[in-house]
Structure formats: C-alpha cells, structure tokens
Structure 1
C-alpha cells in the first residue's frame, strides 16, 4: 500500500469525520502556544530585520484544527510587532498534508483566514500536498515550521513486521507480550529513519536560525509505568473485540498495520542530536490530562544552528484511552 497516496483522516464534516472528532488533538495544539510565541521572538532576536516571513504547518489535516497553529503564529507576529514598534512583514502561510487530505475544507478555511487578516498587511496562503519526509520547499525559504500530532505517523509499515508476518496486535495475551518488544523496536527503527529524513529536509528549507515547533504523542522517560504504551494500542482494542465477535476475520486483524510510533522524550532527543542539524531550545513533556511536566527539558542553547522547540504529550496507564493518536 502506498501510504503517501492513501493515508488520510476521515473527510467531510459528518458525524464520523475528523473535523468533528479532533478535540484531543486541539488540546495538544493549545499547549504549543507559548513555544510558538517563543519561536517568533527568537526569529526577530537572531535574524536580521524581517520584511517577509514564511510559516508552514506540516500535517495540517482538515477541519477546525487545520489553521490553529498558523493562526497562533500570525497572532504572535502581530503582537510582537505591535509591542516592539516593528513594521509588519509580508506573511506567507503554507499548509501541508498528504495528497488525499480533504483540501476542499482547508481551502475554504484559508479564504476566511485571509479575509480576517486584511487589516494587518499582506497575508498570502497556499496548500502544499506531499510527504513531509521529503523536500517540500525551496532552500532557505521557510522561517517557521509547525507540526502537531503528525510525526507519529511513519512513512511505511516496518519491513521487519511484514516480512516476518508479525501482527502489531495478537489476540493471545502471551504471544502479544512475547512479540511486543520486536514490534515496538521495529516501529522505533522506522521512526528514527523517518524523523532523520524530516530533520534533514527541514534543515535545507529553513532560513539561517529558522525555528521549528513540533508536538507529538509519546511517553515520558521518567514515567516507567507508561513506557510500554503505544498509540496504536487504543485502536486495536475495539478491533480485537470486533474480531472476537466475528464482525471482522482474525486474518484481517492480523494483517492490519497502523504505521505509528510514540517515542520517549529521550528517544526523540537522541535522534535530533544524532542528525545534527538542529539545536533543541526547549523540550516539554505534557500529560494529556494533568498539564505540563514539572521538569521541562531545557538543553544548552547554541546559536549556530536553527532552533527546535518540542512539546510532547505523554500518557499514564490510567489516561491511556484518552490519548490522541490521530494526525492533527
């Protein structure tokens, strides 16, 4: 299966659509607001006077969440310029997702957004279909990259699982526990490969000292009770129930893969540092229901590389069913 062409959230605005079932994802986006404001401030602090600014949301999906991050960024720019008596730059907003995303809804939202910003100066918008694990923009052209609940999605099902016919979820508890480390490790290896491609592509597209603010579902390395939880667990529980009742066949369940991975904050930091293009300015771990971890990770900041701000949502076992694993 070509995931780049076929993977998307439920389209439209009906009862089962993503647009009407993405409250958890929006909560995660809202936690990114302080980091987005911090990134905008950093752009003015570490770059020359900005006459134009290009902002992109990678994995925007559709519905009410599709413009949440870029609206926050544009508001932050307006506020910064007002507070510091700076001239407003020309702003370009670029929304990206896979080609089969419901861009019809996105286009309508972008049109309304443009009209709402007419009094603030030129704000142009565009949609950019394609995989963010590849190059999407020209070199040194983007100032601010945003992404929420999208990087959990892998570019493909790990080959190790398909070649060895190992299901992601086995109905037999004993077999599931026995195979689980192999499944998690296979997804982790694919995640490392994909995120490395993502970082390398963005490093080429960002202007010098450009900024990224990323948020994804994962686990906290400080919380050993939830390190074994993966985003795909929550989808397989009802699917396994359907198979046990004969609604779907057991063979169908065993051949069904959800290409997602929930990394730990430690795992995420190691991949970013190994790739080497970005310096981590701020990394925070949020519990989905209780707020921000009391001990945010703030590594040493160097100014020779673009900055990266990361907001990671983790879950405990008691909150597992409320975790969000869908792309925003």
Structure 2
C-alpha cells in the first residue's frame, strides 16, 4: 500500500482547498496492535513532510488517529504512537479511536486521509438469516455443502454489500471534500458468486470439519459457527462504490500476496500459524477451546 498512500498524500497536499488551515488529519481504520499498527500513518507522515520540504515550505500540523475495536490492545498502539511522536515533527496530536468502522467515529468533514489495510473483509456480523434458519456455513457432507453453497454465498454477499455501503457512507461524511481514502482487503479473483473461496475461510472450515469428525470439537458447535468474513470480487467492489456514490475510484488493483515472496517461506507451519493468529480468538470463544486444542488445530492445518 506504500505507493498508494504516498500518491494519496501528495494529491491532498497539492490541493489548496483541502488544506486551507495547514492542518491535516490522518486516520487508520483497523490498525490492530502489533508492530505494523503505525505502518500506514508513518508512511503518510513521512510523505507529507518530504513533500513540503521539497517545496521549502513548513509542513502542516498533523493529527494521527488509529482505530480498532474496543477490545484491541491499545496499550501497545499508544506506545508505538509515543515513539512515532518522538522521532517526527510536527505531529501535534496522536491518539486512538476505539469503535467499529461500521459506525460514526469522527466529526463531519474532519479527515484528510483514511487508510485501512487487511480489515474490511471482516463483516459487522455473520448473516442473520443463516443463523435463524440454522443453515451451516460449511457442511461436512460434501454433497449437502454444494447444494447449500448458493444460499450461504448469497447470504454473505448481501451482508458484505450492506456493511461496505454503510462504511462508504460514514467515511464520506467524515472526510474533508476532495480528500482521499486508500484501503486493501482480502478478495477473490472470480466474479462467480458460488465458489469454495467465497468466505476466505474455506480452508479453515475444512480443518475444523476434520476435527469435528474426529470429535476434537463439538459437531453442533461447528455447524453453528459463522465466521464474519467475506472476500468480494473486484466487480462487486466497483459496483458498490459506484452505487453508494460518496467516492469516485482513482485506482483499483488486484495483488497476489505471494507474488515476489520466497516460496521457501510459505511452509505449512507458517501458513498454519497465520490462520491461527487470525481466527483463534473467534474459535476459542465459540468452541471454548483450550490451548491444547488450538495446538491440534495448527497440527491439522499443517497436514491438510
């Protein structure tokens, strides 16, 4: 996302209508809490400073805001922000904004750049109609699973469209006119709705299905697990953005995260650990799992 964030910042800085008071607000939505929590805002801050240095002008005052859900570990985030403030000028404000990005977070017309990395494929909730009708998101029986796949995929598609439309509407209100937003999210290459990878978590579901068949986890709880994740196609995103109307599209890219990566790094152990890191909180809460069972999940993932 680095070149996209840099280009967005330059566009904002060049627009005199966007920065009339020489003050800039940059917000990251879904920052998480690890070492990458300040990565995007750091890029934006450095680009802003370099742009005005080249013009031999003083940079604007900058406010950096990091958002995630209330139970995110903001202690780690705040420590990262403190370090960032100490090595950069002229940050005036750096803070956190706890809450869902499917709700209003900031005042109207206050933000110059929104960025969000690897977050917007998380839905506000799993599709309610599947839960009400007790239709499993992933059935162990392959024939039944394929019969239900159009219903399941359609439910997830409608939920994503509803959530992403709301996200765009809210951010459109919070942005300064002529400002920018740069986001990345997990997607799928196919425009076809009914695919095994529609929910991103198909591989995880297969692993849990094996564990359920071996009685390592409860079968009834497996059937009632609805992970709130959806991977849209490029066509879906474009249609939703155009229909909602708050934004115009400057650029859209499809990126393979494995491209340019040393294939030796993609070991079964690393892939299993990535899956565990992303989904363990959900699975532990839903299945009431212990660390030993999650270890079994990782071992099953490696051998699948």
Alpha-carbon offset, residue 134 of structure 1: 1.0
> Are the equivalent residues in 2 in contact too, given 1:47–1:209 (CA < 8 A)?
no
2:208 alignment partner, one of 208, 219, 239: 239
Alpha-carbon offset, residue 210 of structure 1: 1.0
1:191 alignment partner, one of 125, 141, 160: 160
Alpha-carbon offset, residue 253 of structure 1: 0.4
Structure 2: distance between partners of 1:262 and 1:232: 9
Match runs of 1:152-301 below 5 Å: 152-221=121-190, 228-229=196-197, 230-290=199-259
Q: 1:144 to 1:164 in 2, by over 3 A?
A: same
Alignment match, 1:128 = 97
Give per-residue Cα distances to partners, 1:88-131, cap 9 Å, x unaligned. 111101000111111111111111111121xx223421111111
Q: 1:165 to 1:49 in 2, by over 3 A?
A: closer
TM-score of the pair, normalised by structure 2: 0.82
Q: Which has the higher helix share?
A: 2
> Are the equivalent residues in 1 in contact too, given 2:12–2:18 (CA < 8 A)?
no
Alignment match, 1:116 = 87
Q: Please, which runs of 5 or more residues in structure 2 have no aligned partner? A: 261-270, 280-304
3-state SS, counterpart of residue 171 of structure 1: coil
Structure 1: distance between partners of 2:181 and 2:86: 26
Structure 2: distance between partners of 1:123 and 1:146: 19
More displaced stretch, 71-80 vs 268-277:
71-80
3-state SS, counterpart of residue 59 of structure 2: coil
Give per-residue Cα distances to partners, 1:14-36, cap 9 Å, x unaligned. xxxxxxxxxxxxxxxxxx11110
Q: 1:265 to 1:128 in 2, by over 3 A?
A: same
Match runs of 1:13-32 below 5 Å: 32=1
Alpha-carbon offset, residue 235 of structure 1: 2.1
Structure 2: distance between partners of 1:274 and 1:213: 18
For the aligned residues, what is the CA RMSD? Answer: 2.2
Alignment match, 2:61 = 90
Alignment match, 1:105 = 76
Alpha-carbon offset, residue 232 of structure 1: 1.6
Structure 1: distance between partners of 2:44 and 2:119: 18
Alpha-carbon offset, residue 177 of structure 1: 1.2
Greater relative contact order (CA < 8 Å, ≥ 6 in sequence): 1
3-state SS, counterpart of residue 285 of structure 1: coil
Structure 1: distance between partners of 2:18 and 2:172: 21
Give per-residue Cα distances to partners, 1:254-303, cap 9 Å, x unaligned. 01110110000000000000000100000010112126xxxxxxxxxxxx
Structure 2: distance between partners of 1:204 and 1:143: 12
Number of matched pairs: 264
Alpha-carbon offset, residue 234 of structure 1: 2.7
Give per-residue Cα distances to partners, 1:46-76, cap 9 Å, x unaligned. 3437311100000111111211111111111
Structure with higher Rg: it is: 2
> Are the equivalent residues in 1 in contact too, given 2:18–2:179 (CA < 8 A)?
no
